[in-house]
Amino acid sequence: MVCMVSRTGREMQRYNETGGRQVVGCIPYRYKQNIDGSRSSELEVLLVSSQKGHRFMFPKGGWEVDESLEEAACRESLEEAGVIGIVEEELGEWSFISKRYGIYYEGHMFPLLVKEQLEIWAEKNLRTRIWMNVVEARDVCQHWWMKEALDILVHRLNLQKK
């Protein structure tokens, strides 16, 4: 059963030693299909709009005390983007300054190979989701650290092709 309500509040939120939030995100990805239904080699990634709808990013949110990094990554992808898939090996960890609070946050990113895209999900009415090629996604993604994670994912997937 899929939960259709997003977690709210910060009671369960994890913080680093300097008081910054620990956040987890995913880069949902898939390969386009050819006309005959076979898998293309063209990679697509899924971005979501911010809650105010002005910018695009990969799904991400707080890592909570009752879940692993991978569980948080799955939850955020489901809540914000309405996708379910396979969480793969972590792409990395980044420190970045919160624009709102001016303190360093800790961000973890994972690839998520999408297996299912839901028509109804928790934040459907709050966010727009859009599949893009890597060049387009890199151009519109608002966070530098997410762009770096995308570069790592593309490099990793290219190595797997060889």
Q: What is the pLDDT of residue 148?
A: 98
DSSP states of 66-99: TS-HHHHHHHHIIIII-EEEEE-S--EEEEEE-T
Domain-located, residue 109: yes
Q: What is the pLDDT of residue 41?
A: 84
Domain-located, residue 8: no
**Tell me, what CATH number does 48's domain have?**
3.90.79.10
Q: What is the pLDDT of residue 40?
A: 83
Domain-located, residue 85: yes
Domain-located, residue 55: yes
Burial class (CB in 10 A: 0-12, 13-18, 19+), 125: exposed
Q: What is the pLDDT of residue 1?
A: 46
pLDDT in 10s for each residue of the chain, 162 residues:
455 555 565 678 999 988 899 999 999 999 988 888 888 889 999 999 998 778 999 999 999 999 999 999 999 999 999 999 999 999 999 999 988 888 899 999 999 999 999 999 999 999 999 999 999 999 999 999 999 999 999 999 999 876
Domain-located, residue 126: yes
Domain-located, residue 10: no
Total domains in the chain come to: 1
Determine the structural domain holding residue 150 and report its residue range: 22-161
Q: What is the pLDDT of residue 107?
A: 96
Q: What is the token pair recorded at 104? A: 């360093």
Q: What is d(CA 153, CA 104) in angstroms, rounded to the nearest whole number?
A: 24
Indicate the residue type of 79.
Answer: E
Domain-located, residue 140: yes
Domain-located, residue 48: yes
For the CA atoms of 133, 138, 141, 146, the dihedral, rounded to the nearest 10 degrees, stands at 110
